[in-house]
Amino acid sequence: MEKHIELLSPAGNVEKLAYAYAYGADAAYIGLKKFSLRVKADNFYEDEYKKVIDLKNRYPGKRLHCALNISFHDEEIDALKSNLDYFKQYPIDAFIVQDIGIVPLLQKEFPNTELHLSTQASCVNSEAVKMYKSLGFSRVVLGREISIEQIKRIKDSVPDMELETFVHGAMCIAYAGRCLMSAYLTGRSAQSGFCSHTCRWNFNVSGAMDADSAKILAQSGLLTLEEEQRKGEYFPIYEGEDFTAVLSSKDLRMIEHLADLRDAGIDSLKIEGRMKSIYYVAMVTRAYRKALDALEGRISNEEAAPFIAELDNVAHRESTTGFYYNKADADKTTSGASDSKYQLAAEIGDEVTGARFEALLAESTKRYEDAQAELNAMHPAAREARLKDLEIHSDRRIIPFQKKEGWHMYECSAMNMIRTEDDIEFVSPDFCSLTVPAGEWELISTETGLKVNWVCDGHPAVVYLPYELPKASLLRTLDPDYVEGKIRDTGR
């Protein structure tokens, strides 16, 4: 029987954890406040362990990994000790650790929880793997600087150690992510979870010339960095609109090479991105789930292909295979922010049926009848003025919805503007995408039961359409600010 490879997805908060599980992750990794290298992710705190327990019950067999991967100072170890009772409320299957100073504490307090070595420890050789195994680690998340051939050698040397590696997402220009630029320029240590992504800042290029000439030179693409002892290795400097890229690495993408990782002995494939959006977590997890299913014979390559193609519709930079095949691939930098032509417009919740549907329909009918009665009671001149006003301001019209055979109504939590004059598109764990043209769907206010022309964040509504949507479906729309070929800083 062929080995099953684990798919491990990022979860910066409870909501993202739910989508990671729903879209096909076998496991997800989270961080807890103050003890994770992504402190700017929402992370987990207070009584959220109750929601996590509920999710694990809803998705039996799914695993939860917790990143405690900062470099601990003594005061942080003190804080860890004081939070142990809180941590124990989470259903954690494994801790991801780089600082071996906390290993004895975790082994004592969590004897049934696995220890996974963080990629931050830069473990890239079989002797180190053997050493960590002797310390009680059951899995090593290999350093990102490792090659396919080196992975094979490690697995052959230590076959009973699980090996995990990153397959997708942003990469740090520094070795194993141990960057000092952030700490040096801002006092925010990347090793304590406060990386300011200094390598992607907006640097100004200047020199012994006027500002306009310097800008023209920077935009020419002719400028490069060359380290004194590494002649012939050039890193491009490129200035675009409102940014200058100096040491910005490409994004990792290994979805076309999963068979090589399997053959090398990898047990778990890890997606980067606890600070990324719900849309990113869902779409990237789904693509790798389908690719793994095809690799392991559960679906055909043809069935997986459209889901894999959707990776281009997720915010991303240029891609690379990193160090897996050739160091030169990882050395190539890129310019600009990650971007996508789509924006996540809404999360789709439960279907509205039964008494809830009938109550909304009754409210809609009542408000329409009341409005008609008020209109009929008006003086003819006032009624004419009202009708003209409604003709000009269509948003003020009182339009009830009608019950339609074969249509389905779903909770719709808007995150961006949704307009009924536009086509909308759904994605889900089950189908790749579904486009519903304007005029073939309706938006209805849950406060009034009346049809509306648009909704945005803070406007409770349902979407009514002639399709049945799977659980955890998402609604996306084309981003009106996206321009093909133009790099914009979206903050992602």
The predicted model scores a pTM of: 0.86
Q: Please give the DSSP secondary-structure letter assigned to residue 231.
A: T
The two structure tokens encoding residue 298:
């559960």
Beta bridge partners of 339: 316
Find out whether 224 and 218 touch, Cβ atoms under 8 Å.
Answer: no
> Among the residues of 271-353, which ranges form H helices?
278-295, 301-309, 327-331
Consecutive sets of 10 residues in the chain, 492 residues long: mean pLDDT of each? 87 95 97 65 73 97 94 92 92 96 97 96 96 98 94 98 96 64 62 61 58 68 64 62 60 96 98 93 98 97 98 88 83 64 96 98 96 91 87 85 97 96 97 97 96 94 98 95 66 41
Q: What is the pLDDT of residue 130?
A: 98
Helix (H) or strand (E) holding 86: helix 84-87
* Interval 23-68: pLDDT, tens: 999 999 998 766 765 555 556 667 889 999 999 999 999 999 999 9
Residue 9 phi/psi, 5° resolution?
-115, 155
Q: What is the pLDDT of residue 390?
A: 80
Find out whether 396 and 388 touch, Cβ atoms under 8 Å.
Answer: no
Q: Please give the DSSP secondary-structure letter assigned to residue 413.
A: E
What is d(CA 89, CA 170) in angstroms, rounded to the nearest whole number?
31
What is d(CA 43, CA 41) in angstroms, rounded to the nearest whole number?
5
- Residue 377: CB atoms within 10 A of its CB come to 9
The two structure tokens encoding residue 49:
């362990």
User: 361: Cβ–Cβ under 8 A, 6 or more apart, which residues?
Assistant: 401, 403, 449
* Interval 219-246: pLDDT, tens: 676 666 665 666 676 666 655 554 455 5
Q: Is 311 strand, coil or helix?
A: helix
What is d(CA 319, CA 103) in angstroms, rounded to the nearest whole number?
35
Beta strands per DSSP E along 32-161: 63-68, 94-97, 114-117, 139-141
